[in-house]
Structure 1
Amino acid sequence: MNQASFNQSLLSFLDDSPTPFHAVSAMKYSLLDAGYEELDEQQEWVISEGGRYFVTRNDSSIIAFTAPSLDFAHQGFRMIGAHTDSPCLKVKPNAHLERFGHHQLGVEVYGGVLMHTWLDRDLSIAGRVTFKTEDGILTSRLIDFKEPIALVPNVAIHLNRGVNSDGFKVNPQEEILPILCGADNDFDFEAILTEQIRREHSDVSVASVLSFELCLYDVQKAAVTGLKEEYISASRLDNLLSCYVGLQALLASEEKRPTMLICTDHEEVGSQSACGANGPFLEDVLRRLTPSPEQYTQAIQRSMLVSADNAHALHPNYASKHDQLHAPLINKGAVIKVNNNQRYATNSETTAVYKNLALEAGFAVQTFVVRSDMACGSTIGPITAGEIGVATLDIGLPTFAMHSIRELAGCDDAFNLYQVLVLFSQCDQLISK
């Protein structure tokens, strides 16, 4: 795969993944096409040497792995981690509002949304709906309206004269509610969802919608942009960009050593869930592969996790926001993220493993350290390291406008990280002890 085809497939993946559910579905079908076998957590697992497998939880988290050898205790795993969720607006359970001549939806802010960027955008709705069929069976299906059906108009400057000098604060209860249509139109949200399920899934008959998990998203397509076509502009780069890179690295691995991709939900709100990095999903999978406590600990101590999440690129308009000696540039290489207060799990040894692979392959490496007078974000890296005790590197691709409805990354960086992660998946030696 060359860089152009890699990036075009990335754009398609981003467009096909408006929610974590859709992202996991897209990854699932890529794995099935590549010959991976789906496992069911409710069933007994039979793992064969040379096999390739994946398992999902909650439809929004996925773990895939290769088994070139079943001696996981002595082989360990080369792990690549990312998260499937992104900051967004989620539809509340009792969603319908009729106010001042318009039908609107009540929404809840999910994660650290850069809220003003959601104004004046063409929005659609996607997610998972759970319902009773006409046969009395409870089931769920994914839906995606795809078309622009909602918007949150800004208020005119004439009614907010100080907006450019004083800043614009968006009240998440009152001022971010999307408009769907005029109040003269009939509106039954359950009926709208039922019709959408029927439109997308002719194999089921809906008796009644019981619940849903729906997100709003920007319908503008992901794109290669810039005068010299150097940038990728898209929604949800944080962190579907890393999910895609990790997936492609897994698919391209030569399966010399057991390699595992872990993409979990709910990172943007702390990962504390049954399918999040701070939940039992990864440990449950590893313990089924290494049944005895002795084997489990041996496998973990012979493993390494590369936790891939986005990194703050040096913004030319906001250069003072960075430590100038640790300010990554777009298209100048992946970024090793370091924080001595353990907001990132990187240490000197995991840094050395990645740097050695990258530099020997001819790829640049950058380092990010947040300014000492600013708070530092975090990732699934320290959560996973703390949960299972695996040596971890936090790495990311330099990005502008993180948590905006539309983010910006470099065309070179994702492909370069992918190539290094392929080498990592084949790496025999980590740190000699």
Structure 2
Amino acid sequence: MMLMSGPEAAKRFLTFVNASPTPFHAVHNASIRLEASGFKKVLEADDWENTLQPRGKYYFTRNQSSLVAFTIPPNWKPGAGVSIVATHVDSPNLRVRPVSKREKAGYLQVGVETYGGGIWHSWLDRDLSLAGRVVVTQQDGTFQSKLIKVDRPILRIPTLAIHLDRNINDSFKFNQETEFVPILGLIAKNLNKTPENDKVLLPNATATSVQGNHHPALLSVIADELSVAPEEIHDFELHLYDTQPSVLGGIDNEFMFSPRMDNLLCSFSAVDAMSTHVSSPNFNFLEGNVNCIALFNHEEIGSVSTSGAESSLIPSLLQRLSPSPALHSQSVARSFLISADMGHAHEENHQPVMNRGIVVKTNAKQRYASDAIGSFLVKKLVERKGGQVQEYEVRNDMACGSTVGPMLSKIGLRTVDVGGPMLSMHSIRETAGSHDVQNAIDLFTSFFEGFAELDKSLTMD
């Protein structure tokens, strides 16, 4: 009921985040939205740069966990700039270990590994489930990586009752290896094994057999979800997620209570803005830069992967659009990148307020890539849509986080870091403003519509 009375953009976002418990699902759902708006999927292995068409809409993915989409303006020629909105789709979470089978005190347990800098105590006593991708055998003997999302709670990390530790509230600390292990069920449930179940434990299992590494009960859940036999499962990457849906909240539905808003909020807004922009009448007539969105993986652990911001994704796109050295240099000089990542709604002298507009993030040590030129351009773009801009800078006595912005600025791209203010960042349940989804969409839409023209009006060199 609360969901029905909130901002429309926020409701679309909550639908997206509820359907996207992992980066794989986020990229999949973003692809569906783009294809519905007329985008054509191309493959990195193909020679698509020689078949690009004016007003064309294209996208490609890498490793099911990152996505780049771009549009070609009328009269486009190599050497044109690229206007990029860059985000990330990963969030701190728990991931099933390659050997997850554990037991203790009569309980089946699942070994997990922490990913990123999560507020781990927020994962205790939550209704958890599994989502990710699984490599399975096809009927024709080939193999496929399939997405899975178990839509019911099957895991839980219980806290110790206060009766057994009266001092637990005085200093709440726990060992992430020994005291942070989800329970899957009771061992007694698995005592009556059939010969069919027992055969997977034989020592002559193949190298691609994972049956000996995980509880048969866990593999059975995965197999049932995918309608395959357990022995047809060859490998997987499974993430734990909270089954409680994302919702609107607050007295006037001014908040969103949800996991993964850092940074699915910016990722959704980029996809939504791009999809809406190409459906507008102006799209067929706008000259200027190639418009682009880039959704990266692994930002929470440094972006150093084939699908992260330090990979070849953006350099490869720029090179394929403008292959000669001279044209490539011209394209980089004409390009601009908005690094969009959520920010903090608390700091003594620079305290952004939720629902009051986009936040420009600045750091003199260049943990954020913003400078006066980039900030000015963003403010003018926001101004075109009648919005507001807030400033954020971290205290001198605190460490500053980072984003994909500084990594991508190494290419030579002019870059600015922006975001939306939020509370409880990296908790299993974060809080953000329900109107800030539209604020982000408005900025990105203004960027796609008017950056090239605005850029021409600014003299710097």
TM-score normalised to structure 2 length = 0.87
Distance 1:410 1:182, change over 3 A: same
Aligned to 2:181: 177
2:370 matches 1:366 = no
CA contact (8 A) 1:286 1:296 kept: yes
2:331 matches 1:331 = no
Q: CA RMSD in A?
A: 2.0
Q: Give the superposition deviation at 1:297.
A: 1.6
Aligned residues between the structures: 421
CA distance in structure 2 between the partners assigned to 1:329 and 1:364 by the alignment = 11
Aligned to 2:154: 149
Aligned to 1:317: none
Amino acid at match of 1:174: T
Alpha-carbon displacement from aligned partner over 1:199-256 (angstroms, at most 9, x marks no partner): 5556x77753222111000001010101111101101000000000111111122432
Aligned to 1:319: none
CA distance in structure 1 between the partners assigned to 2:182 and 2:230 by the alignment = 26
Amino acid at match of 1:234: S
CA distance in structure 1 between the partners assigned to 2:321 and 2:385 by the alignment = 32
CA contact (8 A) 2:7 2:435 kept: no
Distance 1:132 1:276, change over 3 A: same
CA contact (8 A) 1:3 1:415 kept: no
Q: Which moved more, 1:280-289 or 1:181-190?
A: 181-190
Aligned to 2:364: 340
Alpha-carbon displacement from aligned partner over 1:142-170 (angstroms, at most 9, x marks no partner): 1111101100011122333323222x123
CA contact (8 A) 1:48 1:70 kept: no
Aligned to 2:194: none
Note the residue ranges of structure 1 that are not aligned, 5 or more in a row.
Answer: 315-321
Query: Which one of the candidate residues 330, 335, 350 is aligned to 1:303?
Result: 335
Aligned to 1:92: 97
Aligned to 1:410: 433
Of the two, which has the highest radius of gyration?
A: 2
Distance 1:194 1:100, change over 3 A: closer
Aligned to 2:122: 117
Distance 1:281 1:74, change over 3 A: closer
Alpha-carbon displacement from aligned partner over 1:10-30 (angstroms, at most 9, x marks no partner): 110000000000000000011
CA distance in structure 2 between the partners assigned to 1:76 and 1:422 by the alignment = 17
CA contact (8 A) 1:73 1:298 kept: no
Identity %, equivalent residues: 38
Distance 1:360 1:64, change over 3 A: closer
Query: Which one of the candidate residues 242, 247, 257 is aligned to 1:218?
Result: 242
Alpha-carbon displacement from aligned partner over 1:337-391 (angstroms, at most 9, x marks no partner): 00010100001101000111223432111111000011000000101111x2111
CA distance in structure 2 between the partners assigned to 1:72 and 1:107 by the alignment = 50
Aligned to 1:161: 166
Aligned to 2:196: none
Distance 1:139 1:58, change over 3 A: same
Note the residue ranges of structure 2 that are not aligned, 5 or more in a row.
Answer: 192-210
Alpha-carbon displacement from aligned partner over 1:128-148 (angstroms, at most 9, x marks no partner): 111334543232111111101
Q: Give the superposition deviation at 1:335.
A: 0.7
TM-score normalised to structure 1 length = 0.93
2:76 matches 1:71 = yes
CA distance in structure 2 between the partners assigned to 1:69 and 1:91 by the alignment = 48
Q: Which moved more, 1:342-351 or 1:252-261?
A: 252-261
